[in-house]
Amino acid sequence: MSAPAPDGPPDLVVAAERLFDGEVLHHGRAVVVRGGRITDVTADPPPASRLVRLPPGAILAPGFVDVQVNGGGGVLLNDDPSPAGIARIAAAHRGGGTTALLPTLISDTRPAIRAAIAAVAGAIAAGVPGILGIHLEGPFLSPERPGIHDPARLAGLMPGDVELLTGLGGRGVTLVTLAPEVVPPGTVAALVARGARVSAGHTADDGAAIRAALDEGLTGFTHLFNAMSQLGPRAAGAVGVALADDRAFAGIIADGHHVGEAALRIAARLKGPARLMLVTDAMSPVGDPEAGATFRLFGRTIHRDGDRLAAADGTLAGAALTMAGAVRHMTARGGASLEAALAMASLTPARFLGLDGRIGRIAPGYAADLVALDGALAVLGTWIGGDVAPAGA
């Protein structure tokens, strides 16, 4: 499991009693890092400039990949579309094991979309660690299933919108969540042709428009079960299509509030760890030690009760969740094995984004993006490109 490396000691060696490589759990292995990339996984670690031996019972895994992060560290992308704001969001989520993420813009105006794309481009150009691109969740969503999105900011597709949504170009990944029934036929194909990945979400469709979108290249479902049409006795709805179609990935919020235990177990059994991926749908309180009991979202007061975020009418408003917390919940309540839950947090989202050739695994040639967890699956520390950061959440 080694790759050619320059002479001299490696930059970093991390040794662990247990190592999950993205697919298989190994015992007594060490990861060898040079120049920010993994060069070897071995049972006989060489001398290194930095040697880290994880404590007994700890596990080393690929860093978590979160495709839906609205905010963190006291910042929402909608409120602060800047490279500095994005850096603060990413830093907040490292404490929860996330080493790569998509900052996510909740439905907003076209100028706000342009500003968010420009901010993400700036963050990537500045080398902000862990920023993969952008997730544009809306505004082309069903007014029947808005969730916490502001109905006044939902929109119909207009000429030029496909180009607007894909303005990041090749500088990073673009993920677009839309309701297939509210956009003209061919929209998904046009977005995919311009390099975007497309998910169905906030949709009231009975299944017909979603199946057509899958044929056009739609590959994902955003927060499965939430803000979408449900499985019925005759109409499949978004949930039924998501569970039945093996082509599609599905994100799921495993926090004990968005999805019940039985639904988590059904999704895990039907989609499996190769197609079901954990997401946080995180809001600004995550990783913010000064977070209060409320915050504002599009003029509405959002109340925090423990790790539950909701408006006054009870509508859930994203989550106060880390990826490590989602992994813990999926193993404790979702019927997932440790290996399956870790894959749902790393290799599966990397594969969904088409990045599984460089992140999501611990293998030679991959980025040295790693998370160390203790026996209770609390984060001990993370590395991005071999650079360490302490646990903060």
Alpha helices in 38-143 (DSSP H): 83-94, 110-125
Distance CA 116, CA 176 (A): 13
Alpha carbon separation from 90 to 84, 206, 251, 378, 385 (Å, rounded): 10, 36, 19, 18, 15
Helix, strand or coil, per DSSP, at residue 47:
coil
What is the per-residue burial (b if ≥16 Cβ within 10 Å, else e) of 111-137? ebbebbbebbbbbbeeebbbbbbbbbb
- Percentage of the chain modeled with pLDDT above 70: 97
Statement: residue 391 has pLDDT above 50: no
Amino acid at 263: A
Domains of the chain: 12-61+360-390 (2.30.40.10), 64-352 (3.20.20.140)
Alpha carbon separation from 10 to 46, 49, 59, 370 (Å, rounded): 8, 6, 21, 16
**What value does the mean pLDDT take over residues 159-178?**
98
**Which pLDDT tens digit goes with each residue over 175-215?**
999 999 999 999 999 999 999 999 999 999 999 999 999 99
β-bridge pairing 133-137 and 173-178:
parallel
Sequence-ordered list of residues with C-beta below 8 angstroms from that of 9, at least 6 positions apart, any chain: 46, 47, 48, 49
H/E segment holding residue 309: strand 308-311
**What value does the mean pLDDT take over residues 347-360?**
98
H/E segment holding residue 188: helix 187-193
Distance CA 36, CA 12 (A): 9
**In this structure, what are the phi and psi dihedrals at residue 116, rounded to the nearest 5 degrees?**
-65, -40
Helix, strand or coil, per DSSP, at residue 156:
coil
Ramachandran bin of 335, using left for φ above 0, alpha for ψ from -120 to 50, beta for the remaining angles: left
**In this structure, what are the phi and psi dihedrals at residue 332, rounded to the nearest 5 degrees?**
-80, -35
212 burial level (CB within 10 Å; 0-12, 13-18, 19+): middle
Distance CA 42, CA 170 (A): 35
**What value does the mean pLDDT take over residues 293-322?**
96
Distance CA 371, CA 108 (A): 33
H/E segment holding residue 190: helix 187-193
2 burial level (CB within 10 Å; 0-12, 13-18, 19+): exposed
**Which pLDDT tens digit goes with each residue over 97-130?**
999 999 999 999 999 999 999 999 999 999 999 9
**Which pLDDT tens digit goes with each residue over 45-79?**
999 889 999 999 999 999 999 999 999 999 999 99
Statement: residue 334 has pLDDT above 50: yes
Per-residue confidence (pLDDT) for residue 392, from 0 to 100:
40
Per-residue confidence (pLDDT) for residue 16, from 0 to 100:
97
Q: How far apart are the two ends of the chain, measured CA to CA in Å?
A: 33
Catalytic residues: 281
